Amino acid sequence: MNAQSIVFIGGGNMATALISGLVADGTPVEHLLAVDPDPAKREALSARCGVRTAEPGTEAAAAADVLVLAVKPQRLHQVARELAPVVQQHRPLVISIAAGVSSTSLQRWLGGGVALVRSMPNTPAMLQAGATVLFAGAGVSEDQRDTAERILRAVGLTRWVQDEALLDAVTALSGSGPAYFFLIMEAMEEAAMQLGLPRDTAHLLTLQTALGAARMAMESSDDPATLRHKVTSPGGTTERALQVFDEGGLRDLFVRALGAARDRSLELSKTLDEA
């Protein structure tokens, strides 16, 4: 992959995260280019990552072996239409990180017959701790799949799905998921303060507990249910708290919440696809 030219269309947070991860992984900066209309974003990217930047234009895209579409979903229709002639002429691998825009729409906007990979990264990618799911359309070679995976793996874990429709479920789980954990941490802090703990102590204990639990889950061969049983003594304090969660229907709330997020993802996808 290091011998390939990777051009990012868009220089926002996710593009910056990917570029930073690639540079940290050893990709030569001269093989990376970021295109963005905002001079401040271009300057920030150059200062942070040492990569070349450019104003929007087809000249930059023409040199790409890999074209990463990293603009807002609402802008992707226009951007893709503008890039269509150069994509049809040079046939790069195209990777979209725009949520909610289907392969069908992207192919239509880009002129069809494009080697296209859709990906759904999440915001912890900005700390190289992301979770990204990828879907490869027809015509994507094994080498191109490997290239896409290496690019997204620069910011964390990667997984593939064979059914593009599952990306809506991925959006509900890992795409929106960080906010769920932030809400849980917020609620735990507030409850701890109601029990008398100072705000700073409640905050630090909540963060460290969340970090420790995540590390235990990541580094253990046990599933979450087994880990929960191991830290729940019969008749103890943890068991009493978990009983309250069960009585309150916590599991059902998560089913309903993720279902609602998935349904909203489908609604947004339909709106964007009608462009």
Asked whether the predicted pLDDT for residue 242 surpasses 90, the reply is: yes
What residue has token string 């701790």?
129
What pLDDT does 274 receive? 72
Confidence of residue 272 (pLDDT cuts 50, 70, 90): confident
For residues 79-89, give the mean pLDDT. 95
CB 150 within 8 A of CB 129: no
The C-alpha atoms of residue 34 and residue 56 are separated, in whole angstroms, by 9
Q: Where in the chain is the domain with CATH 1.10.3730.10?
A: 175-268
Q: CB neighbours of 126 closer than 8 A, spacing ≥ 6? A: 13, 14, 16, 17, 155
Asked whether the predicted pLDDT for residue 3 surpasses 90, the reply is: no
Q: What is the pLDDT of residues 175-196, one digit of tens each?
A: 999 999 999 999 999 999 999 9
Q: Which of 70, 187, 49 is nearest to 83 (CA)?
A: 70
Question: Which pairs from 245-252 meet CB under 8 Å and 24+ separation?
Answer: none
**Options 3.60.15.10, 1.10.150.120, 1.10.3730.10, 1.25.40.10; CATH of 175-268:** 1.10.3730.10
Asked whether the predicted pLDDT for residue 16 surpasses 80, the reply is: yes
Q: Which fold has domain 6-170?
A: Rossmann fold (3.40.50)
Q: Which of 154, 189, 171, 140 is nearest to 272 (CA)?
A: 171
Q: Where in the chain is the domain with CATH 3.40.50.720?
A: 6-170
For residues 214-238, give the mean pLDDT. 97
Q: Please report the beta strands in the chain, taking only residues with DSSP state E, as ranges in sequence order.
A: 6-9, 32-35, 52-54, 66-69, 93-96, 116-120, 130-136, 156-160
SS3 140: coil
Q: What is the pLDDT of residues 106-162, one digit of tens each?
A: 999 999 999 999 999 999 999 999 999 999 999 999 999 999 999 999 999 999 999
**Mean pLDDT (the chain, rounded):** 94
Asked whether the predicted pLDDT for residue 275 surpasses 90, the reply is: no
Asked whether the predicted pLDDT for residue 76 surpasses 90, the reply is: yes
The C-alpha atoms of residue 25 and residue 143 are separated, in whole angstroms, by 19
What pLDDT does 59 receive? 84
Buried b (16+ CB within 10 A) or exposed e, 103-116: bebbbbbbeeebbb
Pairing relationship of beta strands 32-35 and 6-9 according to DSSP bridges: parallel
Asked whether the predicted pLDDT for residue 10 surpasses 70, the reply is: yes
The C-alpha atoms of residue 34 and residue 70 are separated, in whole angstroms, by 10
